[in-house]
Amino acid sequence: MSLANWRGARLPPRQESLLGAYCQVVAPVTREMAGVLFRSFECLDALNDSFFFMPHGPFAGEDAFVDFLCASSNDVRYAVLVGGRCVGVASLIRAVPEHGVIEVACVLYSPALRRTAPATECQLLLMRLVFEELGYRRYEWKTDSLNTPSRSAALRLGFKFEGIFRQHMVIKHRNRDTAWFSLTDSEYRELVGPAITRWLAEGVAEDGKQIVPLAMFMASGTI
């Protein structure tokens, strides 16, 4: 496959605002946003449970959590806003512009965001940024092989399972086998992007609840 016409990709901007019908995705995450997200969990244990499979955490309290989300790094962290309130975060990491590869990681949804239209739309907004604006060719999703919800989410969003990296990491004194998923620019352009866009327009009720599974749109690109 010739890439003679590919001009390379760009690093994600440190400041961004992506507006959808149900949510807004913005960078950077401010301390105020991080504090709102922390308080959206019913207790500290509930928040820390969400980090069980991640290398980060557990957190001693709100200040530690906010410091983590707002710390300076090479990654770009985005806040997911619904009605102006931060209800989730996601990061773009390990960007390799010369090869057109980037990864989405550290996805954290508050209980109010999970299994809603904004939860799906925020991922579509990041895909649009990665493929349409920044010019990437490959978008990666990696997770602990035991993290069934994360693996299911990747497949639902159109990522393809590529295999297990055995004994890949040591996380919190446990072995981690890592499941790798990816989405290519052609897959996004020809199926995934249009399918999610149409699902948001036709498969979701006015209250944001699903009335038709996204998988039905993914299966053929139409319904």
The residue among 194, 195, 203 whose CA lies nearest residue 22 is 203
Q: Mutual orientation of helices 117-128 and 193-202 as an angle, nearest 10°?
A: 150
pLDDT at position 129: 98
Average per-residue pLDDT in the chain? 95
Segments of the chain assigned E as strands = 16-19, 24-27, 76-82, 85-96, 101-109, 138-144, 160-171, 174-184
Radius of gyration of the chain (CA): 17
Is the pLDDT reported for residue 95 higher than 70? yes
pLDDT at position 221: 62
3-state secondary structure of 101: strand
Per-residue pLDDT tens digits for 54-64: 999 999 999 99
The residue among 104, 25, 34, 24 whose CA lies nearest residue 69 is 34
**CA-based max dimension of the chain:** 53
pLDDT at position 209: 83
Give the mean model confidence (pLDDT) for residues 2-18: 91
pLDDT at position 2: 80
> Is the model more confident about 160 or about 6?
160
Per-residue pLDDT tens digits for 64-80: 999 999 998 899 999 99
Judged on CB neighbours under 10 Å (0-12, 13-18, 19+), 209 is: exposed
Is the pLDDT reported for residue 220 higher than 80? no
The residue among 36, 166, 16 whose CA lies nearest residue 91 is 16
Per-residue pLDDT tens digits for 34-54: 999 999 999 999 999 999 999
pLDDT at position 223: 43
